[in-house]
Every structure is written in structure tokens, then in C-alpha cells.
Structure 1
Amino acid sequence: MHWTQPHVWRELRRHEFPLAAPLEIDKVYWLADGAVRSGTQLDHNDAVAPLMARFFAAARTRFPLPYDLTAVDNGDIEEETVGDRLDSLDLSAYDRDVLDGALAMLAPSPDEQGVEQMLAWAATTFGDWGAFLETAGSWPIEGGTRRLITAMLGESEAELRLSTPVVAIEDDGTRVLVTTRSGERIHGRAAVVALPLNTLGDVRIAPEIAPLARAMVERKHPMRTVKIWARVRGAVEPFAALAPVGQNPINAARVEHRLDGDTLVVCFASDADALGVKDREAVQAALRALVPGIEVLETAGHDWVDDEFSQGTWAHHRPGDLTQAVPLMRQPHGRVHFAGGDIASLGVGGIEGAIESGARAARNVAAALADGRH
């Protein structure tokens, strides 16, 4: 969370939930050109900052109004992947690995992810990628994310049904019929569908959504990242570690918390098939390739890729989808309205975008109910 995110920040302030200060980190390990380097944050920044400036140079030009992805000057970047952009910079092997490693946590599938989403993210912080990373992944809620979700739900009068998978959502022009896997049929005047993008293809939606949006749903987004928590022995020096995609199972790791004399390290791997969340020895080997001598005591995590109700992690759209197909998904589809961080206009892929898109869908439903369209 971050105070520059207006929707989530409003909720945090209303409920008086503070943010937890992150640990100060000044040690960085980075794998580049076949060798692991180490130094201070300043040392790593000296190596990566000029490369980031080149990669994100067009962010403000391409997305002058980053909250409106239709007000863009995209042109050829709607066909460009992150890998294409890396290739176009014509970097040395060392510089390519430094830049790839710094991007790897959010660009683990560079040959499938559209570069436009990276540029749109950076545009929200005036083209400064370092500032975007702070807003996206440095400040957790004190007490955890569940605390905020529970508080928001507690203000609602809605009936919550868990473990109730849906197989069909049909708008017959007068009402919406939702059919569950058990065969229950639920009627309503409107529906807000906030399913993860990669699960939408498992639900029959009638009438059919626009062809461009349907093609995006069928292709699915390519994010197959796995997030693993590792408990390591002792109070190790706070560090960050980075590796290019394909050169180490773990592409990003960072000390996050202390726990009973030990240390919790959060790790990201680009491919869930390459590293199991419960494989302590494999996680230790991958971490030791970056941080010599580190000892992993236990690991934990959830395989969101193999989970049928997510089938991937946060969305990073394929080339062209963010500015062409995603805006179509945000438009009312008769009595069916779509929401969720995967199709947000600002804060795509995150909780900020989820809240923003949910509020927008709710306003659209309320307006339609008020004037008799639903």
C-alpha cells in the first residue's frame, strides 16, 4: 500500500490502519554476466539507474494521463513485448542482465508481457520506476491485508457466500441469472463480476462479450510467478537479491521481517513449475546462489498458478490488450459489469486497482438501477 494510492489510502485512513515501516536495506546482491556482485544500494543504483532511464524514457510521452489508458500515444508499442524493448537497447551482456534482473520480479515472462503496461505503471510516478516500486511493494498494512478486507466487508450488508463456484452468468434482458457449480440458480437485477482474468474462460457469459475481450480471456495473461516465504536462520543482514529471468530459479528476494531470532525473506520466481513453495532444499540452493551461506529453515507459500480459482498471479497483459481489450471489459455489458485489479485503469494488477474498479462498477450499477435500466 502507499499514500499515493487514493482509493486504498482513503480506506486505510477511514479505518485508522497504519502502515508498517519496511526494514532498511543497504546490501544488494545481483547476478550479471555469469557472476554475483554485491554492494550497497547506491552501488546497485549506479549500475541500474541509467539503464532504467533508457527503458522507461517514453513512459510520460506514451501515457500523458496514466489514469486514462485510452488517452495514449502508443503506436508501435502495442505490438512490443518487454523482451523486444530489452533487445532494442543493444546492451552489453552485463548491462542486459543488470536491467533484466531489476525488472524480473514484475517482468518474469518478458517475451509474452506487453511493454505498455510497464510504461503505464512508471507513468503513474512521473516515469520514475524506482518511485513506482516503492508505491507497489514496500509498505504493508500493519496487521496484514486481511485486516483491511475484513473491515471493508464489515460495513457491507451483502450476504457473503464462500466456496460457491459459479459456472454461468446470463443476462436475459430483464434480469441476471447466476448458476453455481452445484446447480443453484440465483437471480438479480445486475451482477458485478470480479473474477481473475485467467478464470473467466471457465464461466459461460451470455450474451458473449466483445470479440477482442473474448480473445484476451481465451489467451489468458502470462504471469506464472510463484511467491515464497523463507524463514532463514538468525538475524541476517537485511538484503535484496536480483537475478535475470532464466539464470536462477529465484529472480528477486528481500528481507522483510524478524521472527523469534530468525529472518523472513520473501522470494519471487518467474515460473511456478521451476520452484515449489514447499521445497526447502531447492529454495535454499537458489538463495545460496545469490547470498552465500544462507540457511533456509522452512518455506511457505501458495501456488496461485495451479489454483483453479486464480490460474496465475497478478495480471500483466499481453501486447495491445491493456489499451484495446481491457477498456472494453470495463464498459457495462448489459446488466453484467466487470471489475477487479486485472482490468483496472489505474493500479492494474494491484489492490488499488481492484478498489477503484469495484467502485466504478458499483456506481454504474447504482445509476442503472436509479434510472430504470436495470
Structure 2
Amino acid sequence: MTMQERLKQISSSFDYHDNMRQILDTYLSMNTQYDLRKSGFLDHLCFWALEDYDTIRTSDKTSRSKIREGESALVQAILDDCQDVNLLLFTSVISVHRTEDKKVRIQTQSQQVFNVRTTIITVPLNPLHNIEFQSTLEFEKLCAIAEGQCRGDTKFWAKLKNSIEGTVIVCFGPDNALDIRDIVAVERELQKFLPNCKVEHVFGHDWRNGSFVESTWSWYKPGQGLSNLRVLQTSELPLFFC
């Protein structure tokens, strides 16, 4: 079932309250970061359960980190706890080769080669197609990789000029509807909601076209949660997928 189909099912609950229907439409579109007609409803049920079935708690959990120093502090602590581990940033893997002696040879775009006993694959679903796997992965997993998942839409932050304590607005929008690098265009769109506002800075990243992720966040298409998830989580020793 798609998000749009579910919204249509409950539309009768909003008789004479079209403004509430529009708010819910906006809220669901923001959560999926994609066209509701192409977004799976099952993912929203999981999302809603993790947020304790409460909109206020959802906002609290998703708007800030529970770690005072930020998420990077947790990552750094994990790295510090490891021994003889090297962290390579901005390093693209082009192939993962399972050898005859049941080990793994990994090659990067810069022609670095790593020979290891096992590998944990944490690459998001959408960019997995950029990696060549030898021996070939299971057919069902290859189909899921080829299908991909929702890519998401535009997300950015805008800091307003001359506002109390520097107001920052979080903005979501349709795919390619706005060039967030054009501060004048961003200001023009925001003025439709906040007349005469002035934008001082725009912060954001084009996650959808970034080669390491190719999406804003993970959200499955209709049916993928049941048909693809278990397959994608299945290990193919000595490779582990998560």
C-alpha cells in the first residue's frame, strides 16, 4: 500500500476540515521525503511505532541529538575503542571480491586493495549498484539493489536576518523544485509564507545526488518492506549486510 492510498482511505475523517487534511498531507510528505504515491505505508507504521505513536515525541526525537557532543562524538568513541583500525573518508569502493580461500579483496577507486577475512557492508541501498560484487550476489538481492528505494526530495535550513536569536527554518520541498545554492530564490519562496523576510544563510546538501548515499534517508517503496528487506539483510559469507 502507498502512503497516498492510505491517506485516501481515511479522507472521510476530514469532512469539512480540509485544512487538517492538508496539514496531514504535508506531515506525511515531510516524513517520507518523497511522492506519497510512490512511498510505502509500512515504513510509516515502523516510523510511527519507534516514535511512541506521538507527534510531540516524534518532533523531540528527530529534531535534536540525545548526545550532548553530537552524533560524531559517539562515532569517535567507537573508533577510539578499536585497535589497529584506520578510518578512510571520501573513499569509494568499486569492487568486493570473494576469493577462493573464503576471504575478501576490496578495491577502491584510487586503486587501494585490502585483503581481509570478512566484510560488513553498510552501504545504503541506492548506491550499492556502484559496487561490483564477485562472486555475484544472490539473484533476489541483485533485483532489490536494481530497484532501489525512495530517493527523497529537497531539504535545507535557512537562517533569517535580523531575527530574534537568529531564527533557523527547516525546509522540505519537491525534487529539484528549488536550487538551494541560490539564496535569492530561497528567499523568494520563503517570502510566500513570511512576507519581507530576509535570508542570511542557507545550509544543506544534495543527498540525492551524492555518490555515497543517493537519497535523503531510508524509505522503502510500496511492497519492498515485505519483499526485499529480509533478502537485503541475509548474509553471504564472508559478507555481512546491515
TM interval, short-chain normalised: 0.7 to 0.9
Contact 2:118 2:239 in 1 (8 A): yes
Q: Counterpart amino acid of 1:166?
A: V
Offset at residue 297 of structure 1 (A) = 1.5
Query: Following superposition of structure 1 onto structure 2, how do residues 213-228 of structure 1 map, counting pairs within 5 Å?
Result: 213-228=141-156
Query: Following superposition of structure 1 onto structure 2, how do residues 225-240 of structure 1 map, counting pairs within 5 Å?
Result: 225-236=153-164
Instruction: Verify: 1:81 aligned to 2:81, yes or no.
Output: no
- SS of equivalent residue, structure 2 residue 22: helix
CA distance in 1 between counterparts of 2:49 and 2:69 reads 30
Aligned to 2:178: 275
Aligned to 1:106: 31
CA distance in 1 between counterparts of 2:70 and 2:52 reads 29
Q: Residue 136 of structure 1 is aligned with which of 62, 69, 73?
A: 62
Aligned to 2:209: 306
Contact 1:168 1:203 in 2 (8 A): yes
Aligned to 1:295: 198
Q: Deviations over 1:190-218 (max 9, x none)?
A: 00111121110010123333333322211
Q: Counterpart amino acid of 1:321?
A: Q
Residues 293 and 145 of structure 1: is their aligned pair in 2 closer, same or farther, counting only changes over 3 Å? farther
CA distance in 2 between counterparts of 1:162 and 1:297 reads 31
- SS of equivalent residue, structure 1 residue 227: strand
Q: Counterpart amino acid of 1:119?
A: L
Instruction: Verify: 1:152 aligned to 2:78, yes or no.
Output: yes
Offset at residue 120 of structure 1 (A) = 1.2
- SS of equivalent residue, structure 1 residue 106: helix
CA distance in 1 between counterparts of 2:72 and 2:53 reads 31
Offset at residue 333 of structure 1 (A) = 1.1
CA distance in 1 between counterparts of 2:7 and 2:22 reads 10
Residues 137 and 294 of structure 1: is their aligned pair in 2 closer, same or farther, counting only changes over 3 Å? same
CA distance in 2 between counterparts of 1:212 and 1:82 reads 25
Q: TM-score, normalised by structure 2?
A: 0.86
Contact 1:82 1:115 in 2 (8 A): yes
Contact 2:187 2:197 in 1 (8 A): yes
CA distance in 1 between counterparts of 2:65 and 2:119 reads 33
Q: Alpha carbon RMSD of aligned pairs, Å?
A: 2.2
Q: Counterpart amino acid of 2:7?
A: L
Residues 226 and 150 of structure 1: is their aligned pair in 2 closer, same or farther, counting only changes over 3 Å? farther
Offset at residue 318 of structure 1 (A) = 0.8
CA distance in 2 between counterparts of 1:213 and 1:83 reads 27
- SS of equivalent residue, structure 2 residue 37: coil
Q: Which moved more, 1:133-142 or 1:308-317?
A: 133-142
The alignment covers a number of residue pairs equal to 235
**Structure 1: gaps spanning 5 or more residues:** 1-79, 237-257, 340-374
Contact 2:156 2:180 in 1 (8 A): yes
- SS of equivalent residue, structure 1 residue 305: helix
CA distance in 2 between counterparts of 1:324 and 1:97 reads 31
Q: Counterpart amino acid of 1:207?
A: S
Contact 2:153 2:216 in 1 (8 A): yes
CA distance in 2 between counterparts of 1:131 and 1:215 reads 36
Instruction: Verify: 1:195 aligned to 2:116, yes or no.
Output: no
**Structure 2: gaps spanning 5 or more residues:** none
Contact 1:231 1:298 in 2 (8 A): yes
Aligned to 1:335: 238
Offset at residue 138 of structure 1 (A) = 4.1
Aligned to 1:94: 19
Q: TM-score, normalised by structure 1?
A: 0.58
Instruction: Verify: 1:123 aligned to 2:44, yes or no.
Output: no
CA distance in 2 between counterparts of 1:281 and 1:143 reads 33
Query: Following superposition of structure 1 onto structure 2, how do residues 145-184 of structure 1 map, counting pairs within 5 Å?
Result: 145-157=71-83, 158-173=85-100, 174-184=102-112
